[in-house]
């Protein structure tokens, strides 16, 4: 059943891809263009600026609130100021702080995963993912991959913006948010064609596992 599902998934995926002849033609056109890097995906400046304002809100309002509210609760004389309503005030402040923490966590996670540009270099045959807020401080980050280090992936959580993920060793299946409203795809078909196809990673893992088993048997035989 698993094999049938993979076969069906692969057949469905291949409908989104170039044929071998079409892929060869696309690469020829790239070489003729005189450009080395080709933009496959990008987020327009206007939308990027919207998310930049979200980042400023995160650092300008959310972070100070998450620090300030607990400090106020700890050091302010709430019982002296609010007397009989002290418990109610503490409860409200705790709830507000919790809301800020949850909203900030969701925003931070989204901004880190947001992809603002995907480029393909036809000379090195590598893909570059640019994330305007990709590092731990929400500053710009660029990551380069071989096509087979990327696979299509749709998150099964509330974050439906995830479109791809890295399967590069050490990346811990790092997700990339490309399914964003207003994003522009210039050549998604090329990306779908050259990345790791459905089931390809599992086949590679099985081959590696079989190789290790054979090596182990040989070692045991020698001993």
Per-residue pLDDT of the chain (223 residues; tens, 9 = 90+): 477 887 888 888 889 999 999 999 999 999 999 999 999 999 999 999 999 999 999 999 999 999 999 999 999 999 898 888 999 999 999 999 999 999 999 999 999 999 999 999 999 999 999 999 999 999 999 999 999 999 999 877 777 899 999 999 999 999 999 999 999 999 999 999 999 998 887 665 555 555 444 555 555 555 5
Ramachandran quadrant class, 178 (left: phi over 0; alpha: psi -120 to 50; beta: rest): alpha
Task: Give the helix/strand (H/E) hosting 25.
Answer: helix 20-33
Distance in angstroms between the alpha carbons of the first and the last residue of the chain: 40
């Amino acid at each position: 059943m698993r094999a049938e599902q993979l076969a069906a998934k692969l057949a469905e995926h291949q409908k989104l891809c170039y044929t071998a002849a079409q892929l060869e033609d696309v690469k020829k056109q790239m070489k003729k263009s005189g450009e080395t890097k080709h933009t496959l995906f990008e987020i327009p400046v206007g939308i990027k600026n919207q998310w930049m304002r979200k980042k400023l809100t995160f650092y300008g309002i959310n972070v100070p609130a998450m620090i300030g509210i607990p400090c106020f609760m700890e050091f302010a004389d709430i019982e002296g100021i609010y007397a009989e309503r002290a418990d109610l005030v503490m409860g409200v402040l705790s709830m507000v702080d919790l809301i800020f923490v949850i909203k900030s966590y969701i925003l931070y996670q989204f901004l880190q995963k947001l992809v603002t540009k995907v480029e393909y270099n036809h000379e090195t045959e590598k893909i570059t993912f640019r994330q305007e807020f990709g590092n731990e401080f929400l500053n710009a980050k660029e990551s380069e991959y071989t096509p087979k280090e990327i696979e299509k992936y749709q998150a099964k959580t509330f974050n439906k913006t995830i479109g791809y993920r890295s399967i590069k060793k050490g990346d811990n299946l790092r997700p990339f948010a490309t399914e964003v409203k207003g994003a522009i795809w210039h050549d998604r078909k090329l990306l779908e064609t050259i990345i790791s196809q459905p089931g390809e990673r599992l086949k590679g893992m099985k081959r590696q596992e079989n190789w290790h088993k054979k090596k182990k048997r040989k070692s045991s035989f020698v001993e």
